[in-house]
Amino acid sequence: MKNDLFNIKWDDNSVRQISPLTVAFVGDAVYETFVRVYLVDKHRNMHVHNLHVEAVKFVKAHSQSEIIKKLETKLSEEELYFFKRGRNAKSGTVPKNADVQEYRFATGFETLVGFLYLTGRWDRLNLLFKSVTDLRERGEF
């Protein structure tokens, strides 16, 4: 393992060897961090509880499912591959506040984010996050 954890970059084949749920595990953390930084930047003086309430609107399975459904047609063939791997993975559990289809689409979204992050596709990841904030600001989730 490299000492510089911020510069680890995997190639596509290496990421393909990882379980899609493990890639989603990374994507979940990356997406949550993005949302928190975005909200703090936008609402610098907001109380932490209110920041949390706003963050939940972005990260809940229903929202992630709606986001990926709106962006699915804009994905490259490779991105679609990773989204579908995550969507089709069987996790064995479903959160109490989401139905199975929403949860699977959300897992696919997180897998896509994890893939983009692990392979160092920063421009594509930024474009995806920009699309998410645009959708939110238009009230589409």
Residues labelled catalytic: 28
The CATH number for 102's domain is 1.10.1520.10
Instruction: Report which of 4, 43, 26 is spatially closest to residue 136, judged by C-alpha positions.
Output: 43
Query: Is residue 81 in a domain?
Result: yes
116 domain-assigned? yes
Confidence of residue 3 (pLDDT cuts 50, 70, 90): low
Dihedral Cα 20, 117, 29, 82, nearest 10 deg:
-20
Q: Rounded distance, CA 121 to CA 119, Å?
A: 6
Q: Is residue 33 part of a domain?
A: yes
Q: What is the CA radius of gyration of the chain?
A: 15
Residue 19 lies in a domain: yes
Is the pTM value of this prediction over 0.85?
Answer: yes
Question: What total of structural domains would you count in the chain?
Answer: 1
Structure-block tokens of residue 72: 């699915």
| Residue 97 lies in domain | 14-136
Dump pLDDT digits (tens) for 69-112: 999 999 999 999 999 999 999 988 877 788 999 999 999 999 99
Mean model confidence pLDDT for the chain: 94
Instruction: Evaluate whether residue 115 is within a structural domain.
Output: yes
Quote the pLDDT of residue 1.
Answer: 46
| 37 part of a folded domain | yes
